[in-house]
Structure 1
Amino acid sequence: MKPKAKAFAEKAHEGQKRKSSDIAYITHPIRVAERLEEAGFSDELVCAGYLHDVVEDTPYEMEDIEVEFGPRVAHLVAAHTEDKSKSWQERKQHTIDTVKYAEKEVKYLIIADKLDNLLSMEQEYQRQGEALWDNFNAGFDKQKWYNESVAANMSVGLKEDAIPAYFHEFPDVVERMFGARD
C-alpha cells in the first residue's frame, strides 16, 4: 500500500513546487512519510504522510483517497486537511485545536508535517534571510504564534512513552526559527 500511496502523491503533486523555493513539492510528503515510517508507525499512517496534502493542494477529493486507500487512511488525511475557504487565522487555529485534542495518530501526522515544513523554512531562511516571510500568507509574527502554539499543544493527552522522538525536535526548531532575534 505504501508504494501505491507514494505513486499516487507523485502523480497528484506533479509539477508543483515548494512555496519558498524551486524544489519539487513531492519531496515534502515523501519526507513526512519517511519520518513516520522511521518512527515505526502503521502502514496507514505512513500512507497518510504521502497523501496528507493531496486533497488540500490538488484536484483530488477525499473520496478518491478513501476509494484507493480505505477509510482509515482517508480519516487520517481528512483530520489534517485544511479548509482553504477559511482565513489563514481560522485554518491555523483549527490545526492548533486539532493537534491538542486529536487521537495520537493524527497528532503524529501533523507534527511530522509541521516539523518538515519548519526544517525547510529554516534552510530557506539561511538562504533568503528576512525575504523568506514574503513567500507566506502570514509573516514572522503570525508564523511564530502558530508554530509556538502547535509546540505547546502537541503532546497534550499523550503519555511519555507515546511521544515519538521527532516531537522533541519540533520545539527546538521553533526556538531556532522564532526565538530571540538579533
Structure 2
Amino acid sequence: MFANKLIARAMEYAAQAHQGDTRKGGEVPYIVHPFEVAMILKENAFADQIVAAGLLHDLLEDTEVGREDLKREFGVGILELVLAASEKLEGRDERSWDKRKNQTIKYLKEEAAFINKAVACADKLSNARSILRDLEAEPEDFWQRFSAPKSKQKWYYQSLVESLKELEGLKMYAEFKEVVAEIFK
C-alpha cells in the first residue's frame, strides 16, 4: 500500500516507538491509531510528508521519542508538522483536561495552518471512529474510561468540528462531522 520510503520508514519508527502500547480502555495495539491516521490522510490525497507526520503525530506526547530524535530521523519539516499536531507539550501533565482541550480548540480555530488542521482532522476522525466502535460494542459504562465525562467530550468534539470547518469539502471532514453526530445523538 505505502511504497514510499519515507512513509515506510515512518511506519517502522512509529511501530517501534509505540511497541507494547494499547489504546485507552482496550486491547487494540496503539499503532493501529497512527496507521489509521496515515490512511485517512493518504485517502484524502495528502503528500507523503503529511502522511508520514500522521504516522508520527503522537510520538512526542506518548513515547520517549524527543524533538531532536524526530528532527534527526525525519527533518525539520516533519518535526514541525508533528509539533503542530501535538498538544502544547511544556507543562502538559500539570494542565487540566479542560485547559488542554480549550488550548487545542483555540489553536485550531485561530492559528493552525490548513495542513495542520488536516493532520488534526485525521487524528480526531480516527479517535471518533474508535469511540463509535467501542460505544456500539459496550454502551454500559463506556464513558468511564475517559478523563472527562460525556458532556465535556461532546463539547470538545463539537468544538473540533467547528474549529476545522475550513476543511469543508474534504471527505475526512465530512465523515468526522457524521461520526461526531452519531456518537452524541
Would you say same fold, with TM above 0.5? yes
Question: Is the counterpart of residue 168 in structure 1 residue 174 in structure 2?
Answer: yes
Question: What is residue 124 of structure 1 aligned with on the other side?
Answer: 134
2:66 matches 1:56: no
Match of 1:137, SS state, is coil
151, 161, 166: which one pairs with 1:151?
161
Moved more, 138-147 or 127-136: 127-136
Displacement of 1:47 after TM fit? 0.7
Tell me which residue corresponds to 1:97.
Answer: 106
User: How far off is 1:130 after superposition?
Assistant: 3.6
1:139 is matched with which residue? 149
Q: Which residue matches 1:106? A: 116
- Greater alpha carbon shift after TM alignment, 123-132 vs 144-153: 123-132
Percentage identity across aligned positions?
Answer: 38
Q: How many Å apart are 1:64 and its aligned residue? A: 1.0
Which residue of structure 1 aligns with residue 13 of structure 2? 8
2:48 pairs with 1:43: yes
Partner SS for 1:129: coil
Alpha-carbon separation, structure 2, partners of 1:42 and 1:63: 23
Residue 26 of structure 1: aligned partner: 31
RMSD: 1.2
Amino acid at match of 1:2: I
- Paired letter, 2:97: W
The Cα of 1:155 is off from its aligned counterpart by 1.9
Per-residue deviation, 1:164: 1.7
Q: In the comparison of the two structures, how many residue pairs are matched?
A: 175
1:132 to partner: Cα distance:
1.4
Give the distance between the partners of 1:65 and 1:164, measured in 2 at CA.
Answer: 28
Post-superposition CA distance 1:79-118 (Å, at most 9, x none) = 1112332211111112112221310110000010001101
**Among 96, 117, 121, which residue is 1:87 paired with?**
96
TM-score when normalising by structure 2 = 0.90
**Equivalent residues of 1:80, 1:95 under 8 A apart:** no
Bigger mean CA deviation after superposition, 26-35 or 147-156:
147-156
The match for 1:177 is 183
Aligned-residue offset at 1:127 = 1.4
